[in-house]
A and B are shown apart, each in its own frame.
Chain A
Amino acid sequence: MAFYVARRTLSIALVLVLISLIVFVAIHVLPGSAATLILGEYATPESLRALERDMGLDRPFALQYAAWMGGVVTGDWGYSLAMKQPVTAIVGLRLRNSALLAVFALVAVALIAVPLGTLAALRRGRWLDLAILTGSYIGISVPEFVTGMVLILVLAGPSLHLFPTGDYAPLAAGLRPWLSHLVLPALTLTLVLLAHVVRQTRSGLVEVLQSAYVRTARLKGATERRIVVRHALRNGLLPAVTVIALDLGYLMGGIVVVEEVFAYPGMGRLILYAIQNRDVPLLQVSILLVAATYAVANFAADLAYAWLDPRIRYQ
């Protein structure tokens, strides 16, 4: 286990460095340079060069990267050109808002999806399974922005108007407004994630239910309930958990879309804002944060998995 943890730690450190490099390279080296990004496509060559000098973009690439990374590590995240504020001051609140949304959605998913997937696996081939499967197909196939807008149409429209169509209210404004602004974006994320997690749970469990050791348990005379609780669930859900962790990151991209639909002030919308306003320092840090968060979460999931699986724990 110690060996495993050490290995994984080394590799996550390496991955984090690579992530920062990718972000930096993508925004600095690709054809449209940072200066073009800021000044727009029609800037004169002179003004471009002047800006590049100002920003230190004429220095060797390695130096630029080192300077930026040094800043990121020491807490100097640069200065937002569009918002005229230090990036650190902007990012904190948005990060918290996005995290809030993600946590709401994740808790809801964990509470609903896992039991639903388990149920489907146990009733495999019956109508309940079919209904759950059909639902999950629809869930993974409808884009977040369509789901979100349909929810707005139905629940926030002039006729019902149960929730606001978007925006955000701080907790200071009261519990009700705060919650009511959260419900629709959280629900949208939940619906999409739900479908994925249900499918993963179901297939993980179905595989285990067909395993030789479940057969052993059945031939010991164990009841269906005992087979599921003592033998199938743990082994069946564990692999599902890592796949879910991988899936989540894939879907976290959805947070950009969902925040845009609901005009919710989180990291996703901040990234869009940075793109639209060609705010390079802000964009770099925001993307780096999202990617790093995901990489670290994945790392944690791996360790949790390793610890829960005796085959890795006692190596």
Chain B
Amino acid sequence: MTTITRAVRANPPLAIGTLILACVLALTVLAPFLAPYGVAEQSILDRFQRPGVKHLLGTDQYGRDLLTRTLFGGRTALLLGLGAVALGLLLGVPIGLASGYAGGRTDEAVMRVVDAFLSFPALLMALMIVTALGASTAHALLAIGVASAPGIARIVRSQTLAVKHEEFVLAARAQGDSHAYIMFGEILPNLLPPIVIEASIRVGFAILASASLSFLGLGVQPPTADWGLMIREARQHIFLSPWPLLCPGLALALTIVGFNLFGDGVRDRLAGRA
């Protein structure tokens, strides 16, 4: 108990963020066991129920259980958020690392292209890609992943520039290490802390962006349970019943807060140690 209070006091964002993420993760992983109803189970007679004993969080316009759908929606959100950021890292880290390490004209050229990509608001870029490929969950993941790559590349590049001038990089060159080894064996390990911070904040953004795509009808397609999609469907009926909007809305906000707090907490912790 004391260790917990000490952790909270030492770094509240990290402690609270970790707590939220742990809850979200547990709830979504255990969704099939926790959910009182089936995801697609409809009950026309129980439309727009308020929260009550039978439906803890109420029901939507088809009489589907909101608790169930919110729990399962978390799976889609985490899958999309984590998947998209993983893709973004896979693309962005090597580009930023190579560009920053190469320096000079190569770096200049790569960075102008990255700048051009960054001139598209991330959602717009994702919209463009989804438009070209067609709306689906996989395409949404691809689109958001690709759209986040330039930003990641930029951060990784600036961190690379900072590390590149450390003497250990020069020392590696002086002993005949290859460029590939220097980039991935010497520089990359030193970039991990900032990459972890960046990634965790970006998962929050990716979840938000994927929800936005779904909300616009260009991401996850019905009848999959997804928070953005649930809100899209709730939109016509908000004055009838606000619960179909509020449940997934709150879940979204809480999850994103969790990732933001976690990222900031890690940053504070690393800054404090240095």
Q: How far is the CA of A249 from the CA of B257 in the complex (A)?
A: 21
Whether A18 contacts B112 in the complex (CB less than 8 A), given A153-B239, A257-B216, comes out as yes
**Would you call A157 an interface residue if the criterion is a C-beta within 8 Å of the partner chain's C-beta atoms?**
yes
Task: In the complex, identify which listed stretch (B3-11, B50-58, B78-86, B117-125) lies at the interface while the others stay far away.
Answer: B117-125
Whether A32 contacts B215 in the complex (CB less than 8 A), given A141-B260, A149-B238, A275-B127, comes out as no
Q: How far is the CA of A150 from the CA of B118 in the complex (A)?
A: 30
Task: In the complex, identify which listed stretch (A51-59, A112-120, A233-241, A289-297) lies at the interface while the others stay far away.
Answer: A289-297
Nearest chain A CB to B136's CB is how many angstroms away? 12
Q: What residues on B are CB-neighbors of A21 within 8 Å?
A: 116
Q: Are A138 and B218 in contact (CB under 8 A)?
A: no
Q: Are A137 and B257 in contact (CB under 8 A)?
A: yes
| Interface 1/0 per residue, A293-307 and B, CB below 8 Å | 011001000000000
**Would you call A5 an interface residue if the criterion is a C-beta within 8 Å of the partner chain's C-beta atoms?**
no
| Interface 1/0 per residue, A233-272 and B, CB below 8 Å | 0000000000000100111111011001100000000011
**Would you call B192 an interface residue if the criterion is a C-beta within 8 Å of the partner chain's C-beta atoms?**
no
Q: How far is the CA of A271 from the CA of B131 in the complex (A)?
A: 11
**Would you call B153 an interface residue if the criterion is a C-beta within 8 Å of the partner chain's C-beta atoms?**
no
Q: Are B115 and A143 in contact (CB under 8 A)?
A: no
Task: In the complex, identify which listed stretch (B28-36, B92-100, B248-256) lies at the interface while the others stay far away.
Answer: B248-256
Q: Are B216 and A149 in contact (CB under 8 A)?
A: no
| Interface 1/0 per residue, A31-61 and B, CB below 8 Å | 1100001000100000000000000000000
Q: Are B112 and A11 in contact (CB under 8 A)?
A: yes
Q: What residues on A are CB-neighbors of B90 within 8 Å?
A: none
**Would you call B27 an interface residue if the criterion is a C-beta within 8 Å of the partner chain's C-beta atoms?**
no
Q: How far is the CA of A114 from the CA of B74 in the complex (A)?
A: 35
Nearest chain B CB to A278's CB is how many angstroms away? 9
Task: In the complex, identify which listed stretch (A22-30, A78-86, A174-182, A215-223) lies at the interface while the others stay far away.
Answer: A22-30
Nearest chain A CB to B239's CB is how many angstroms away? 6
Q: What residues on B are CB-neighbors of A72 within 8 Å?
A: none
**Would you call B235 an interface residue if the criterion is a C-beta within 8 Å of the partner chain's C-beta atoms?**
yes
Q: Are B129 and A290 in contact (CB under 8 A)?
A: no
Q: Are A11 and B128 in contact (CB under 8 A)?
A: no
Q: Are A22 and B218 in contact (CB under 8 A)?
A: no
Q: Are B216 and A291 in contact (CB under 8 A)?
A: no
| Interface 1/0 per residue, B215-230 and A, CB below 8 Å | 1101000000000100
Q: Are A30 and B132 in contact (CB under 8 A)?
A: yes
Q: What residues on A are CB-neighbors of B253 within 8 Å?
A: 138, 141-143, 146
Q: What residues on B are CB-neighbors of A142 within 8 Å?
A: 249, 252-253, 256
Nearest chain A CB to B200's CB is how many angstroms away? 13
Contact of B123 among A138, A257, A295 (CB under 8 A): A257
Within 8 A of A (CB), among B244-268: 245-246, 249, 252-254, 256-257, 260-261
Q: Are B132 and A32 in contact (CB under 8 A)?
A: yes
Q: What residues on A are CB-neighbors of B260 within 8 Å?
A: 137, 140-141
Nearest chain B CB to A120's CB is how many angstroms away? 14
**Would you call A14 an interface residue if the criterion is a C-beta within 8 Å of the partner chain's C-beta atoms?**
yes
Q: Are A11 and B115 in contact (CB under 8 A)?
A: yes
**Would you call A15 an interface residue if the criterion is a C-beta within 8 Å of the partner chain's C-beta atoms?**
yes
Q: Are B119 and A26 in contact (CB under 8 A)?
A: no
Q: Are B216 and A146 in contact (CB under 8 A)?
A: no
Whether A143 contacts B212 in the complex (CB less than 8 A), given A251-B121, A291-B120, comes out as yes
Nearest CB to that of A248 among chain B residues?
Answer: B121
Q: What residues on B are CB-neighbors of A137 within 8 Å?
A: 257, 260-261
Q: Are B119 and A292 in contact (CB under 8 A)?
A: yes
Nearest chain B CB to A313's CB is how many angstroms away? 23
Q: Are B128 and A23 in contact (CB under 8 A)?
A: yes
**Would you call B208 an interface residue if the criterion is a C-beta within 8 Å of the partner chain's C-beta atoms?**
yes
Q: Are B131 and A22 in contact (CB under 8 A)?
A: no
Q: What residues on B are CB-neighbors of A253 within 8 Å?
A: 121-124, 209, 212
Nearest CB to that of B135 among chain A residues?
Answer: A275
Q: Are B256 and A141 in contact (CB under 8 A)?
A: yes
**Would you call B211 an interface residue if the criterion is a C-beta within 8 Å of the partner chain's C-beta atoms?**
yes
Nearest CB to that of A251 among chain B residues?
Answer: B121
Q: How far is the CA of A26 from the CA of B116 in the complex (A)?
A: 13
**Would you call A105 an interface residue if the criterion is a C-beta within 8 Å of the partner chain's C-beta atoms?**
no
Q: Could you list 9 further interchain pairs (A-B, Cβ under 8 angstroms) beyond the known A19-B119, A23-B128, A254-B121?
A: A14-B112, A140-B256, A142-B252, A149-B245, A152-B238, A153-B238, A153-B242, A253-B124, A283-B131
Closest 3 CB pairs of A and B: A253-B123, A253-B121, A18-B116
Q: List 6 A-B contacts (CB under 8 A).
A: A19-B120, A22-B120, A23-B128, A141-B254, A249-B118, A256-B127
